[in-house]
Chain A
Amino acid sequence: MALIVAGVSHTTAPIEVREKLTFRPQDAVRELALLRANGLIREGVVLSTCNRTEIYAVEESNDTLPDISSLLSNRLGDDVAGFMYVHRDREATAHLFGVAAGLDSMILGEAQIQGQVKAAWEQCRAESGPILNRMFQSSLLAASRARVETGIGRGAASVSSAAVQLAKKIFGGLGGRRAMILGAGDVAELALECLLKEGVSVAIVANRTHERAQNLAERHGATAMHYEECWESLHDVDVLICSTASPSPVVTVGRIRASIAARGDRPLCILDIALPRDVEASVGDIGNVFLYDLDDLRAAAAANLEQRGEDVPAAREIIAEEVQKYWDWVAGLAAVPVVREFREEMDRLRSTELAAALKRLGPLSPEQAEAIEHFSRSLMNKFLHEPSVRLKAAAANGRGLGVVDAARYLFALENKPGTDPQKGDSTDIA
């Protein structure tokens, strides 16, 4: 028995390959059930997102890689080997923990993957078992720790979230702040949705085409206006989002100066996400106006990502700790019952042979009988010490599930109750 993960991700396969390998939840469960029914795996979970498809499995005695590879190749309609990576045992655990923490994501540290890992595990629960249940649960814990204890998830990593971050740096909480949107396109709406989540209320939607402005305004309980009318209302808003298709700037110094006087000292945050830009660059020179264009927003996101990158080693340390804890658990789960059974079996043999020997020796004084008893026990302990230690160590090193199986086979323990970690209900921690 061994842990294996095989799959493709954005680092190994282009989108054309990844999209063919995407599993819907019901497909994932069906394929895993098939692998289990064929006696190839004991447990399985498929993690399928837009950036990766990975199959996590606890193998039966045989190597299941050819079967997993064949499954993916059939789905792709071509040989998947050139795009596929494989990790086993401890490396497989470290890989999953890194994935859940966002260390393997396209945008480093993104939080969405943690939810996707959890969803994948829950969707495949019927085909999972104690080993994978514990591993996925530990991966979520490791990911949470990495996010809380390091900065890998801190700061905005996309343009729209950078816009929110900048507005927050000016206004603190955004609840109750008012926004005006210039241009009613999809990009403006996307940025607007990010601000709405923070509690910003949309006051005015201004667009050259009044009908589009009205549509957007109705959706957010705002007022629709033409460009020409909106400038008078500018004194009343805190955030201005500009995203028109105008070839020349529509927000000029003159227009802003005219409204800024009525604002007093209140700051105005202008997010110009149009290309070409909607706002004259010199508007940013006006006191209490904070002007950010697309390049600024990208720079803010890039700065955050750079900072996240610096925290990767710290996150990896946390993951290594959690991987160790998980394999300690596996060691206990897999090796301890085998060692116990092994010792009990040896002790039973020792007692039988001792009784036979004592019978052959004839009458002995109690001291003599005790010395022989002590000798037999001591000899057995000495013989068993090294194999016991090595069995536990092998399991803890993440290479030992196979060794544990081998020990079970060598000492004829495979049919004895209580030595198979896969069968005990008490180990199902989910």
Chain B
Amino acid sequence: MIPIAHFVAVTFYLAAAAVAALPFARRVKAPVVGVVVMLLLGIGAHATALAGLTRQAGAASLTGLGPGLSFAGLVLVISLVVVESVAREVSLTLVAAPVAALITVAGNLAGMHPFLEPQGVRAVWLTMHIVLSFIGIAAYATAAAAGTMYLVARRELKSARFGAIFRFFPPLDTLDRVNHLASIAGFLGLTLGLALAAGYSFEYRALVLPQIIWGMGAWVGVSALVLGRVLRGWQARRAALMSAVTFASVVALYVVFRMASLNRGQFL
């Protein structure tokens, strides 16, 4: 049941991306409601898969590599739905939905094997840390997606090319605002997630070097972005470039750690 539900979720995410890409093939507006409904159906299937996994493991298990990646994909799509429902604009789906599908597929390929989790207060603490951190990463990914789209749209506008991107991408100002809000949400999520991780590590003497380095790397990246925006007045291209480059670095760092990691059964 778990692989089937994941498959259904991935199908809905990709279908949502395909519907959001309709304006590039035909001269029609992307149906906001249609895209959001597809994403919601995907979320439903995805949540069913993770609920099945929880039932199978006997506890909410988010620490294994497969479940962790799957949960990251789910949180990314949830943050996408929130942003797009508020903005009434679904072009972010073009980037974020395939990324979520990719992460989910990667999680399933890695194997949905729950890693042994602690019980009681310790389990709640750990789960809170994971959920908040993933929310932070998902918001950071949304900021990076908006930033990437900003850079592409800006290039088209600067060079006075009036093709499909000019017609169907949202205005630069909208992408800049999404980048701004998502980076702040990413900063808050990662800060709280890392604070809980620090407390957890201190209390239970559970220090894992790759996790600390990667988590701190992601936090430094999103913090630099938010500080630049809030304190230095970064906007537009500079903020978009910063979010795209730093998030790409965070992803690259994760890949490096995963390739080098001995803890193959865990997220890191």
Contact = CB atoms under 8 A, between A and B. Distances in A.
A289 B167 CA distance: 20
Contacts of B174: 172
Contact of B172 (A151, A170, A292, A296): A170
Interface residues of B, number: 22
A264 interface: yes
Which among B153, B171, B174 has the greatest number of chain A C-beta atoms within 10 A? Answer: B171
Given A169-B157, A172-B174, A151 B28 contact: yes
A83 interface: no
Interface in B155-191: 157-158, 160, 162-163, 166-167, 170-174
A307 B27 contact: yes
A266 B158 contact: no
B115 interface: no
Interface of B: 27-28, 153, 157-158, 160, 162-163, 166-167, 170-174, 233-239
B151 to A, nearest CB: 12
Interface in A259-301: 264-267, 284, 287-288, 290, 292, 296, 299-300
A25 interface: no
Interface in A165-200: 166, 168-172
B167 A265 contact: no
B162 A290 contact: no
Contact of B235 (A154, A264, A296): A264
A374 B233 CA distance: 94
Contacts of A296: 160
Contacts of B238: 265
A341 interface: no
Contacts of B163: 303
A218 interface: no
Contacts of A288: 236-237
A168 B153 CA distance: 13
Nearest to B240: A265
19 contacts: A155-B167, A166-B157, A169-B157, A170-B157, A170-B171, A171-B173, A264-B233, A265-B233, A265-B235, A266-B236, A267-B172, A284-B158, A288-B236, A290-B158, A299-B162, A300-B160, A303-B166, A304-B162, A307-B27
A265 B234 contact: yes
A290 B83 CA distance: 27
Contacts of B233: 264-265
A169 B235 CA distance: 16
A265 B239 contact: yes
Nearest to B164: A307
A154 B171 CA distance: 16
A172 B237 contact: no
A310 B23 CA distance: 13
A265 B174 CA distance: 15
A311 interface: yes
B235 A151 contact: no
Given A150-B27, A168-B171, A307-B27, A267 B160 contact: no
Contact of B27 (A151, A169, A292, A300): A151
